[in-house]
Chains A and B, each alone.
Chain A
């Protein structure tokens, strides 16, 4: 099986500072892949560059096609979706309009059906359908951002820190929905600081440090790795240093 998303030797720089160095990663069909790492490791930068928000040196292929010449909008049309860290909602518009616009490139009849599906997935959004996006709570905003991205019928959804700043009960909800996505045929590339939760639902994982991948493998193996456990999972083994 060929990979759905394949990134080879990617470099992303802000001016002269390289935030991502020589990173290669793959996401297969029906797979949840997570990138864990500390704040500032370059995870968000990498996702933005894959989406086309930042320029990337290297090769990115999606569904077998090279993305180099394509704008963000073209990538969306191909089935690549990003829920960015800051959610980027249309805050002065209501929930339903936000969702409707997520399906801007989708046929109207199909979009109507998707909106009902999203409401089934996120009942909270249905209750708030006429409320302005900017007045929602953090958790609801995250749900709306995910819902909007799903309205575009992505084959691969990239989630940037979906649990950031949310109450634990909502975090659990979000992670439950992410694992459900896989069942509905959507692959997920998940960037998380909450490594423990991310590794639990992921199939494979990459560990990122200072712009580079330092470890990769099955999520369960990564979770069992002592070094990862010490640095990212909050388990400090006695007598060992953090790194």
Chain B
């Protein structure tokens, strides 16, 4: 191997690793706040990517309709739970957030899909659609189970993953799609060639990490989210609703997922089921970070990306195997270092 190839693989690894880092951070966040191991994170990636690609090629993405359908279900849940103490403001708020909003977005999507909108519009619409799906998914599938054990939440998580993947096949078909680059053009520095897309990936990843850091460190809602993660009962006693924290966590996770998808789909062809594997690699990074440490997760993600790039060069048939095998020594080490933990009692 010469230096050029090595640098090229490293660059490739870091580009992928940046995306795994975002996904890993989202997984850690959602787990810390809601105790949900977010398997459908991968579907947020595919939905974001394929919604973007469909819109860019002038097709109507089915995800916009799904958002409305899930919104209606979320609204029904809200009204059912509050049935004993219904009042006008609550109904109005629920209908606005769960039905009017996705309906308006659906109308916009239908309008724009017909006329091959510019890249910025495609990105904005895709992000909003997937964000709504994430939010309603929490309301419908996880909020009612919030008090149950991690295992029950995991089963629900697997269930929603399978359902969303099936719907993905329905909406986008079995064919793979590719989207237009967010930033076209390229330049060469020494023997390395940087494409606009890879620079976009670095830029957005760094911006997002800095943004998250500011959000958690400086804003009241960010602190409330951390508080819920640190001590659920303490947060409730301070008047912070667990459901609010859960909503924010899912919103962030779905936006991060969709954004990752939009960044990948100009580089790689994505299929309705590609998200799962991408999400799993973020998961490997999150596990290396112990599902608690954000910086460790980010570093681990870059490592996962790099290992993937090198193994696809040396043993491309085994590249997934090699990446997932990273988990075994990590889990072994962690099990030796950590004291035995009992499943929390409910």
Decide whether A and B are members of one complex. Answer: yes
What are 23 of the A-B contact pairs (CB < 8 Å)?
A: A71-B236, A73-B236, A73-B239, A73-B240, A76-B237, A88-B231, A88-B234, A91-B230, A92-B226, A93-B223, A93-B226, A93-B227, A97-B223, A97-B227, A101-B223, A101-B224, A102-B238, A104-B238, A104-B239, A105-B239, A108-B220, A148-B238, A149-B237
Task: Judge whether B182 is part of the interface by a CB distance below 8 angstroms.
Answer: no
B contact residues around A72 at 8 Å (CB): 236-237
CA distance A89 to B239 in the complex (A): 13
In which size bucket is the chain B interface?
A: 10 to 19
Task: Judge whether B89 is part of the interface by a CB distance below 8 angstroms.
Answer: no
Name A70's closest neighbour in chain B (CB-CB). B85
| A43 shortest CB reach to chain B, Å | 18
| A50 shortest CB reach to chain B, Å | 12
| B190 shortest CB reach to chain A, Å | 43
B contact residues around A101 at 8 Å (CB): 220, 223-224, 227, 235, 238, 240
The answer to whether B230 and A92 touch across the interface, beta carbons within 8 angstroms, is yes
Q: Among residues 97 to 117 in chain B, which have CB atoms less than 8 Å away from a CB atom of chain A?
A: none
Q: Among residues 46 to 74 in chain A, which have CB atoms less than 8 Å away from a CB atom of chain B?
A: 51, 53, 69, 71-73
CA distance A241 to B266 in the complex (A): 85
B contact residues around A100 at 8 Å (CB): 220, 223
A contact residues around B84 at 8 Å (CB): 69
Name B84's closest neighbour in chain A (CB-CB). A69
A contact residues around B237 at 8 Å (CB): 51, 72, 76, 81-82, 84, 88, 149
> Can you add 6 more A-B contacts, CB < 8 Å, to A53-B233, A88-B234?
A51-B237, A73-B239, A73-B240, A81-B237, A82-B237, A101-B227
A contact residues around B230 at 8 Å (CB): 90-93
The answer to whether B231 and A73 touch across the interface, beta carbons within 8 angstroms, is no
CA distance A14 to B117 in the complex (A): 60
CA distance A69 to B84 in the complex (A): 8
CA distance A12 to B319 in the complex (A): 57
Task: Judge whether A211 is part of the interface by a CB distance below 8 angstroms.
Answer: no
Task: Judge whether A162 is part of the interface by a CB distance below 8 angstroms.
Answer: no
Our count of residue pairs bridging A and B at CB distance below 8 angstroms stands at: 65
User: What string of 1s and 0s marks CB contacts (under 8 Å) between A92-113 and chain B?
Assistant: 1100010011101100100000
In which size bucket is the chain A interface?
A: 20 to 34
Task: Judge whether A77 is part of the interface by a CB distance below 8 angstroms.
Answer: yes
Q: What are the 7 A-B residue pairs with the smallest beta carbon separation, nearest first?
A: A88-B234, A76-B239, A105-B239, A72-B236, A90-B230, A90-B227, A104-B239
- Among A81, A84, A104, A108, the most chain B Cβ lie within 10 Å of the Cβ of A104
Task: Judge whether A139 is part of the interface by a CB distance below 8 angstroms.
Answer: no
Q: Among residues 206 to 238 in chain B, which have CB atoms less than 8 Å away from a CB atom of chain A?
A: 220, 223-224, 226-227, 230-231, 233-238
Q: Among residues 146 to 172 in chain A, which have CB atoms less than 8 Å away from a CB atom of chain B?
A: 148-149, 152
Taking chain B's interface residues, is the majority helix, strand, or loop, or is none over half, making it mixed? helix
| A106 shortest CB reach to chain B, Å | 9
Q: Which of A51, A81, A90 interacts with B226 by CB under 8 Å?
A: A90
A contact residues around B226 at 8 Å (CB): 90, 92-93
B contact residues around A73 at 8 Å (CB): 236, 239-241
CA distance A88 to B227 in the complex (A): 10
Q: Which of A77, A87, A92, A93 interacts with B239 by CB under 8 Å?
A: A77
- Among B220, B235, B236, B238, the most chain A Cβ lie within 10 Å of the Cβ of B238
CA distance A148 to B85 in the complex (A): 30
B contact residues around A108 at 8 Å (CB): 220
Q: Among residues 292 to 320 in chain B, which have CB atoms less than 8 Å away from a CB atom of chain A?
A: none
| B197 shortest CB reach to chain A, Å | 37
- Among B220, B224, B235, B239, the most chain A Cβ lie within 10 Å of the Cβ of B239
| A204 shortest CB reach to chain B, Å | 25
Name B237's closest neighbour in chain A (CB-CB). A82
A contact residues around B235 at 8 Å (CB): 90, 101
User: What string of 1s and 0s marks CB contacts (under 8 Å) between A203-219 and chain B?
Assistant: 00000000000000000
CA distance A97 to B241 in the complex (A): 17
The answer to whether B233 and A104 touch across the interface, beta carbons within 8 angstroms, is no
A contact residues around B241 at 8 Å (CB): 71, 73
- Among B85, B224, B233, the most chain A Cβ lie within 10 Å of the Cβ of B233
| B209 shortest CB reach to chain A, Å | 19
**Known interface pairs A73-B241, A76-B237, A102-B238. Does A91 touch B231 (Cβ–Cβ under 8 Å)?**
yes
B contact residues around A51 at 8 Å (CB): 237
CA distance A102 to B220 in the complex (A): 11
Q: Which of B85, B220, B231 interacts with A104 by CB under 8 Å?
A: B220
| A14 shortest CB reach to chain B, Å | 12
| A15 shortest CB reach to chain B, Å | 12
Name B85's closest neighbour in chain A (CB-CB). A69
B contact residues around A93 at 8 Å (CB): 223, 226-227, 230
A contact residues around B240 at 8 Å (CB): 73, 101, 104
CA distance A148 to B230 in the complex (A): 15
A contact residues around B238 at 8 Å (CB): 76, 101-102, 104, 148, 152
**Known interface pairs A69-B84, A69-B85, A101-B223. Does A84 touch B233 (Cβ–Cβ under 8 Å)?**
yes
A contact residues around B85 at 8 Å (CB): 69
